[in-house]
Amino acid sequence: MKTEIKKDGQESCQSTINPSEWKGRTIEIDDAGTGDLVGDAFIGLRDASTGKIIFQSVPVGLYNEENKGEDGPSKHILKVIIKALKMLNHGKGDRILLCRGNCFDLVRKYFDENEIYYEPAVVEGELQNAVEGRFIQHLRKLGVRSRNLTMDSGIQRYFILFNWVCQDFPNRERYVKTGFPAWKKKWRKIAIDRYHNSKRGKSHIRETIEQRANEIYQNMFESPISIRRATSKDR
């Protein structure tokens, strides 16, 4: 059963921090990483009455060009949400507060077809922090070390992850959601160029250091000889 539709065509929406009263149980659903360039995505479900949270992952491989074209991520998200709701013993008396993200389009359709009551929500607070935290933990395990990496999604996090990929492009592209259209059209070429430019720059620095080291090495042999000759003349 879908929530009420306003006259302007927009669904009514509420925050999970201060939701409207509900006689039964409330289950919150949110995502993290679905729009980020790097890594798996994560879906979190929270039983508001007990605070229990269940996490489900969406492998980064589902976001490659082939799988994303076949709506692989959305299908997987629907599958894991059905699984997690069973784990939470979801019943008809429960209310689901569902994040408004596009990644849940198939979930909303499934809920409508099966008369599962839900309301679109801005997921904030405990669940949002938990699922974003799980995503950040995942990125750290991949090797993203930037101190500026935070749980705040957006343009800053995008470029932190993009720069991380550029630093070692051949080994890190496999962690990229390559099915994003902008990656193929624009960012992949930029990443490759930056990687090669950085590699050439490091090579130049290394050559400069080696050249200077050789000069110092030669001076170490020449200087003692001239000193010894000057000393022998004085005697």
For the stretch 193-235, pLDDT in tens is 999 998 764 544 455 555 565 556 566 666 554 545 544 445 4
| 5 — pLDDT class (breaks 50, 70, 90) | very low
Tokens 């939470």 locate to 88
Residue 186 has pLDDT above 90, yes or no: yes
Q: How does pLDDT run across 38-75, given as a tens digit for each residue?
A: 999 999 999 999 999 999 999 999 999 889 888 999 99
What spatial distance separates the first Cα and last Cα of the chain, rounded to whole Å? 107
Give domain limits for the chain. Answer: 14-144
Cα(97)–Cα(28) distance, rounded to whole angstroms?
Answer: 5
Q: What is the pLDDT of residues 110-166, one digit of tens each?
A: 999 999 999 999 999 999 999 999 999 999 999 999 999 999 989 999 999 999 999
Distance CA 163, CA 34 (A): 19
Residues 96, 101, 103, 109, Cα dihedral to 10°: 50
Please report, for residues 110, 119, 231, the alpha-carbon distance to residue 4 in angstroms, rounded to integers and kept in the order given. 17, 9, 100
Sign of the four-CA dihedral 167, 170, 171, 174 = positive
Query: CA nearest 173: which of 200, 142, 151, 152?
Result: 142
Q: What is the pLDDT of residue 227?
A: 47
CB 198 within 8 A of CB 164: no
The hierarchical CATH code for the domain 14-144 is: 3.30.420.10
Who wins on pLDDT, 12 or 71?
A: 71
Q: H/E element holding 141? A: helix 126-142
Report the sign of the C-alpha dihedral through residues 75, 77, 80, 85, in that order.
negative
The percent of residues in the chain predicted with pLDDT above 70, rounded, is 80
Buried b (16+ CB within 10 A) or exposed e, 36-46: bbbbbbbbbbb
Determine the Cα–Cα distance for residues 113 and 231; give it in Å rounded to an integer: 100
Whether 190 shows a pLDDT value over 60: the answer reads yes
| 118 membership: H or E segment, kind and range | strand 118-122
Question: Among 17-21, 28-32, 84-88, 111-115, whose mean pLDDT is lowest?
Answer: 17-21
pLDDT for the residue 185: 96
Look at the alpha carbons of 92, 94, 95, 98 in this order and tell me if their dihedral is positive or negative: negative
Phi, psi of 106 (to 5 degrees): -70, -30
pLDDT for the residue numbered 18: 87
Statement: the pTM of the whole predicted model exceeds 0.75: yes
